[in-house]
Amino acid sequence: MTSIRKDPVDVLIVAVPETAGSALYGMLDVLLAAGNIWQTLARTGLEQTLFRVRIVSPTAGSFTCGNGIPVVPDCSVADNPGAGILILPELWLGPDEDIHGRYPELMGWIRRKYKEGSTLYSACSGSVMLAETGLLDGCEATSHWGYQDLFSKFYPKVRFRPEPNLVFADAMGRIVTAGGTTSWHDLAIHIISRYGSPGEALRIAKVYLLKWHGEGQLPYAALVRSNPHADSVVRTCEQWLGEHFRESDAIRQVVGLANIPERTLKRRFKIATGTTLIEYLQNLRIEAAKQLLESGQTPVDEISVEVSYEDPSFFRRLFKRSTGLTPSQYRRMFQPVFNASDQT
């Protein structure tokens, strides 16, 4: 029989004007429901409170966060509240926007809480705030895949990993970062399992229909992203490849278009875009294959040829390396329900 925790775990969720309200209140609601909502719905009795959750902010007054959602903090940094768990939820940030210098008192307080023994958790772009504290320097971390370039530019000491849904920065699990926008689901399940029980985490997942993203973030990531840069030759090549990536000799043609030595083009392309020339071409082809898989029932072998891979086995290996899923798995996961129902 699973033992029942006698004392609730104190949790503080950080809120600032950039915070995403859905992540803030979703996490608050789910943690407060742990230990009691399933028991109420299933009439099993033995209700308990696993977590005592409060919202903490840099100042004591009420404010609005993302999309004008009101926030009334329970306490402020100046109150110096204590808690075993400190959560930094998603922020509304652009992919080139850091938060350097915005909340120096908050950053110092987060560092003190960690030093005093709190376990730190971040969801999605909340890891940008965590990176700003310096506590992620030299550690592995994740966030939404769209912030990979931001981390590379502003937080190069962080070993950013865009693939997983959860990353432990240390062996003790005292700093945990979660990936994309709804990764707070994964984080909530992990926290409830860790401080409550795996069984209770499963029950909460059933009640709220929370999904554990065991496939990681690769299936959701855009493989081709526009990186601003000043190399006009590379921009011309990117544009040409975007229109002609299906051609079998695309690399040869684009080298001719650039009218510079192939080795020079490849070096400049890597510097400007962050990817190699062949990787960029492959990503364009895989993105096209993804769209075909999402929108119809074309056989995988035909899609392989459509995106210029005559060898279907090579295409399948490349597709799985790029997305984490086989083409068939990707189709099942992302094809709209109405399309799937049309096949019955």
Helix 183-195 and helix 198-208, axial crossing angle in degrees, nearest 10: 150
Continuous segment of H or E residues that includes residue 175: strand 175-178
pTM of the model: 0.66
Which of 77-91, 181-195, 230-244 has the lowest average pLDDT?
181-195
Query: Is residue 344 pLDDT above 60, yes or no?
Result: no
**How far apart (Å, rounded) are the C-alpha atoms in residues 142 and 88?**
13
How far is the CA of 274 from the CAs of 146, 225, 267, 285, in angstroms?
Answer: 14, 10, 10, 18
CA atoms within 13 A on the CB side of 294: 9
Token pair listed for 166 = 């959860």
Task: Write down the residue that tokens 């990503």 correspond to.
Answer: 283
The pLDDT value given to residue 221: 52
DSSP bridge partners of 54: 12
How far is the CA of 40 from the CAs of 33, 34, 48, 199, 295, in angstroms?
Answer: 10, 11, 10, 16, 42
Contacts of 56 by beta carbon, 8 Å cutoff, 6+ apart: 12, 13, 14, 15, 73, 74, 75, 76, 77, 79, 81
Q: What is the pLDDT of residues 224-267, one digit of tens each?
A: 666 777 888 998 999 899 889 999 899 999 999 999 999 999 99
**How far apart (Å, rounded) are the C-alpha atoms in residues 342 and 289?**
21
Contacts of 224 by beta carbon, 8 Å cutoff, 6+ apart: 242, 280, 283, 284, 287
- Mark 156-167 as b/e (b = at least 16 C-beta within 10 Å): eebebbbebbbb
Q: 109 or 206: whose pLDDT is higher?
A: 109
Contacts of 72 by beta carbon, 8 Å cutoff, 6+ apart: 55, 62
Helix 232-244 and helix 277-295, axial crossing angle in degrees, nearest 10: 30
Work out the end-to-end distance of the chain between its first and last CA atoms, rounded to an integer number of angstroms. 44
Task: Write down the residue that tokens 């080139």 correspond to.
Answer: 96
The length of the chain in residues reads 344
Q: What is the pLDDT of residues 280-311, one digit of tens each?
A: 999 899 889 988 887 778 899 999 999 999 99
Q: What is the pLDDT of residues 17-48, one digit of tens each?
A: 999 998 999 999 999 999 888 888 878 777 88
Specify whether the CB–CB gap between 65 and 15 falls below 8 A.
yes
Contacts of 107 by beta carbon, 8 Å cutoff, 6+ apart: 129, 132, 133
CA R_g for the chain: 23
Token pair listed for 191 = 């926290």
Eight-class DSSP state of 219:
G
**How far apart (Å, rounded) are the C-alpha atoms in residues 57 and 264?**
51
> Taking the CB of residue 19, how many other CB atoms lie within 10 A of it?
27
> Taking the CB of residue 171, how many other CB atoms lie within 10 A of it?
6
**How far apart (Å, rounded) are the C-alpha atoms in residues 124 and 87?**
11
In terms of phi and psi (left: phi > 0; alpha: psi -120 to 50; beta: otherwise), the region of 173 is left
Domains and CATH numbers, the chain: 9-218 (3.40.50.880), 232-342 (1.10.10.60)
For the chain, give the percent of residues with pLDDT over 70: 90
Query: Is residue 109 pLDDT above 90, yes or no?
Result: yes
Task: For residue 211, name the pLDDT band (cuts at 50, 70, 90).
Answer: low
